[in-house]
Structure 1
Amino acid sequence: MSRLPLAVATLPFLASCHPPAPEPAPTEQLAAPGIFHFYPQAAAVDATVMLLGNDFSAMPANNVVKFGSGEAKAYYVRKSSYFDTLKVKVPGNATNGPLTLSIYGKTATAVRPFFLTTGRWTRKADFNLVGRGSVYGTGFYLGGKVYTVVPGNNELWAYDPLQNAWSRKAPHPVGPLTLTTHVGELVSFVLGNAAYVGVSVSSPPSDQFRFYRYDPATDQWSTPSSAPYVRSRSSAVFGFGTKGYLIDTGPMDGQKVMEYDPQLGFWRRIGTFPGPARTLSTFFVLNGKAYVGGGSTGTSSDLLLDFWEFSPLTNSWARKADLPLSTERANGFSAGGRGYLMTESRQCFVYNPQADTWARESDFIGSFIPSPSNISSPDKGYLVWGWDAINSNYPNFWEFSPR
């Protein structure tokens, strides 16, 4: 058997003994990177996170972002004289923990931690709202469709999730709705196959909160009843079983709990909200119970944390785990057996009724929408447009999927 020369045979061994060649020196002259801000702070796998800071590499792949114990490379970078911007996808092995950015061996750590979540926000078909905002609208889910009553022109629109399209329906019988003729915003609840939409009127007869019944099968409205006036921005209105309920948390109307029986055609008082009087509280309905909390006792410095559960079956209240932060004007909705709260800063939290606990959920990724209509369905949550005090309309429509 022929043998290779010793020098040739030992070449692979000798080569393996040499240390690896050093990485090429960076072609960019960068100081240590800095992170000013990143958003969203809570997001699911594959969601896009944006970082703002300084001394990012102009080559996206050189910017390595670590989400807890998982890391990913940026796919987009924009350099400017003011600050740098990069975008990166949350990797599959991300965890809760610090968010860091490493470039050429230099690392920056964000002040806030990153939270890995499961929910996803998706923008859906918008519709034109120019000239239609005058008071705060309302919405409801019925028969597999999302409905919203748009004030100003008292229009009713229906959204079909399967078609991702809106269609116009019979207009609300009271209108146009303006702040000079109506007080507060619209409210609504669903009983069986019909929706009840209420509006508080300031013109005679005053002190009335009138409800109108909408039948989607016939696309027609009727007037079944009226209810004592309440400030609707301080109230929770919902349907359960065969009856409707209105929970007034405001300081001007006795913090009453009202029940509506469509067979009898009138409202009656059945109790009192046990917490302190407040305005701008948050509520959602979950598993046949209403949850109410937060708000303000008068000023932004008097924000509340308390959170309450109301059971229509027993006409009873129970104090639950406080909200994760004091807030007013927060948006509440339910989906997939959980309750959700979204603050004006676009932070989102999820409530587990079995464990009576709060946790972070995927932050809202759209532009801030003032006073949107929050609509709950069995497996999705929706934010429908918005309106502010200077008559600016926000036609955005977003869908939230819990998992």
Structure 2
Amino acid sequence: MLMRYLKGYSLLLVASLMACSKGSNEPDKIGNWISRGQYDGVGRSGAASFVINDKAYVGTGYDGENRRQDFWVYDPALNLWKQIALFPGAGRNGAVGMAMAGKGYVGTGYDGLNKLNDFYQYDPVANTWTKKADFAGTARYGAVSFALQDKGYIATGYDGNWLKDNWQYDPATNTWNQAQSLNNGKRTDAAVFVIGNKAYVCMGIANGSFVTDFYAFDGTTQTWSTLRPIDNLSDESYDDNYNFKGSSAASFAMRGLGYVVSGNKGSLSSATWEYNPGTDTWIQRTDFEGAARTGATGFTLKDRGFVVLGTSSSQPFDNMFEFDPTAAYNKND
């Protein structure tokens, strides 16, 4: 009897130790984060970014003391960053970036005193910036941006009020036109990713609360559709339930799936969530392996997803990680 008790106790002890050793990355959370080349500029949050020809361009942002104008380009083949021409507008954070027809665009944001509506084009061949027509919506920060069919869009944000409007930019004519606003859900500091010809917008904050509604914008029909909310814990009609409402997360899309990473969810989070547009469902993947942070920047290169920069309280980061959604978790890389 005693031996049987001791044997049972030993099995329970081993199971307990194994569970503790796994920490927050349970075996059902597939995916692995890999440390990549550090951003060569100073650490910062709220940076703008765009991707041209499989290279990522990241700049502006707030380093805890100053709002930046420097911009850098990342080459994944070399795993190296290189500085490019200085952004010509005021140093800022909370700006947006997008790429269309081989050119990059950056606009809006906050310079520490003013909300901004200026808008600039970057030519990677000439390494030059050119001022373009000012954004036609109200000056703002914390908006989202995306490009569909070589047209750019800036939506949501904060201009003294939380916003849900949506504006289209045509680079061929250098003009802005108002597109359909979100169905509902004013917000700032939301997350956006593009899959195919649709942009997906979720998360964000308004009126002191995290929003939970989730929308997709179709670049062909120019309309928004309402998707499942990102907080459905109280809805018994769903077989799977989750809640990851928050703001200032990094986001990207690869291999036909969308990802939101880290951010502020009442406290700083390390969670990684993956969205499948075919089923309109989310699953949780392996937690982000850098420090939990807010205001990080996400981008995709050659179907590889990256998260760089961000801040934790008063500590800005300059490190970068790549996510492999099919690999087993490896704490040593």
TM-score, normalised with respect to structure 1: 0.65
Name the structure 2 match of 1:328.
Answer: 247
1:125 aligns with 2:37: yes
CA distance in 2: counterparts of 1:31 and 1:360, whole angstroms: 29
Whether the 8 Å CA contact 2:50–2:105 is kept in 1: the answer is no
Cα 1:113–1:393 shift into 2, 3 Å: closer
Instruction: Identify the match of residue 289 of structure 1 among 198, 216, 236.
Output: 198
2:308 maps to 1:384: yes
Counterpart in the other structure of 1:167: 82
Match in the other structure for 1:240:
148
Question: Based on CA coordinates, which of the two structures has the bigger radius of gyration?
Answer: 1
For structure 1, which runs of at least 5 residues remain unmatched after alignment?
1-21, 36-52, 57-64, 67-84, 89-109
SS in 2 for 1:147: strand
Q: State, as a whole percentage, how many aligned pairs show the same letter.
A: 24
Q: Deviations over 1:122-171 (max 9, x none)?
A: 110113544x64x6211222111121114444111111111111111111
The alignment status of 1:226 with 2:150, answered yes or no, reads no
- Shift of the 346–208 alpha-carbon distance from structure 1 to 2, 3 Å rule, reads closer
Indicate the SS of the match to 1:116.
Answer: coil
* Aligned residue among 98, 104, 109 for 1:189: 98
Q: Aligned partner of 1:402: which letter?
A: P
1:367 corresponds to which residue? 291
In structure 2, how many angstroms separate the alpha carbons of the residues matched to 1:144 and 1:263? 23
Change (3 A) 1:166 1:330: closer
Q: 1:360 to 1:160 in 2, by over 3 A?
A: same
Q: Decide which of 123, 140, 147 is 2:50's aligned counterpart.
A: 140
Runs of 4+ in 1 over 4 A off after TM superposition: 30-35, 201-204
1:309 to 216, 219, 222: 216
Amino acid paired to 2:31 = G
For 1:162, what is the secondary structure of its paired residue?
Answer: coil
* Structure (1/2) with the larger strand percentage: 1
Kindly indicate whether the alpha-carbon contact (under 8 Å) linking 1:209 and 1:229 is maintained by their aligned counterparts in 2.
Answer: yes
**1:355 maps to which residue?**
279
Calculate the aligned-residue CA RMSD, in Å.
3.1
2:120 maps to 1:212: yes
Count of residues in correspondence between the two structures: 296
SS of equivalent to 1:283: strand
- Give the drift of 1:357: 1.3
Q: Does the Cα contact within 8 Å between 2:272 and 2:288 map onto a contact in 1?
A: yes
Determine if contact 1:129/1:394 at 8 Å carries over to the other structure.
no
Equivalents in 2 of 1:113, 1:374: separation in Å? 21
Partner residue in 2 for 1:396: 319
- In structure 1, what is the Cα distance between the partners aligned to 2:225 and 2:249? 21
| Residue 272 of structure 1: aligned partner | 181
Secondary structure of the residue that 1:280 maps to in structure 2? coil
Task: Tell me the distance in 2 between the aligned counterparts of 1:119 and 1:113.
Answer: 10
Does the alignment pair 1:318 with 2:237? no
The structure with higher relative contact order (CA 8 Å, sep 6+) is 2
- 3-state SS in 2 of match to 1:275: coil
Partner of 2:26, secondary structure, is strand
1:31 and 1:353 mapped to 2: Cα distance?
Answer: 42
Distance change >3 Å, CA 230–CA 335, structure 1 → 2 = farther
- Whole-angstrom distance in 1 between the partners of 2:301 and 2:49: 11
Residue 273 of structure 2 aligns with an amino acid whose one-letter code is F
Distance 2:254 2:101 in 1: 19
User: Which residue does the alignment assign to 2:235?
Assistant: none
- Secondary structure in structure 1 of the residue aligned to 2:319: strand
Q: Residue deviations 1:206-226, cap 9 Å, x none?
A: 765111111111111111221
- The correspondence of residues 21-36 of structure 1 with structure 2, limited to 5 A, is 33=13
Structure 1 residue 115: Cα displacement: 4.5
Task: Determine helix, strand or coil for the equivalent of 1:290.
Answer: strand
Are 2:103 and 2:124, in contact at CA under 8 Å, matched by a contact in 1? yes
- Aligned partner of residue 272 in structure 1, secondary structure: coil
Contact 1:279 1:298 in 2 (8 A): no
TM-score where L is the length of structure 2 = 0.78
Gaps of 5+ in 2: 62-66, 231-241, 264-268, 327-333
Corresponding letter in the other structure for 2:37: A
SS of structure 1 residue aligned to 2:225: strand
Q: Counterparts in 2 of 1:145-160, with a 5 A limit?
A: 145-151=55-61, 152-160=67-75
Cα distance in 2, alignment partners of residues 279 and 333 from structure 1: 18
SS of match in other structure, 1:259? strand
Instruction: Using the TM superposition, give the Cα deviation of residue 281 of structure 1 relative to its aligned residue in structure 2, in angstroms.
Output: 2.2
